């Protein structure tokens, strides 16, 4: 996966470094940023910092599925993940819009 990334903002760089440190230590992590703060770009930067592991991004809308698909990222809806499980070879799972996982219908 070769994705040209824009220069990260200082807060994105700091969050990316902390996230990578936690992931390399085997810890789960969640990144929380407001709308428009560049979470998707941050995720792509983190993937690059991790050496582009095989990743699965779980989404809840067609728009997000399309967005991640444009970058050549493997995408699943939570419904398909529930039915089929995590595909073999996936080393990292990213839940886009993770706060929706708390909803009763998610």
| For residue 7, pLDDT beyond 60 | yes
* Mean pLDDT over each residue of the chain, to the nearest integer: 87
pLDDT digits 0-9 by tens, 29-77: 888 899 889 888 999 999 999 999 999 999 988 898 998 988 889 999 8
Name the helix (H) or strand (E) containing 47: helix 39-49
Q: At a CB cut-off of 8 Å and minimum separation 6, what does 1 contact?
A: 47, 52, 71, 72, 73
Looking at per-residue pLDDT, the higher value among 102 and 41 belongs to 41
pLDDT band at 105 (very low <50, low <70, confident <90, very high): low
């Amino acid at each position: 996966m070769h994705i040209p990334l824009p220069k990260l903002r200082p807060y994105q760089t700091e969050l990316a470094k902390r996230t990578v440190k936690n992931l390399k230590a085997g810890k789960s992590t969640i990144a929380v940023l407001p709308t428009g703060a560049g979470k998707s770009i941050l995720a792509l930067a983190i993937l690059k910092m991790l050496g582009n592991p095989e990743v699965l991004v779980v989404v809840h809308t067609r728009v997000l599925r399309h967005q991640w698909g444009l970058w050549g990222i493997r995408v699943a809806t939570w419904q398909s993940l529930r039915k089929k499980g995590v595909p073999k070879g996936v080393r990292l799972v990213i839940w886009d819009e993770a706060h929706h996982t708390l909803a009763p219908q998610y």
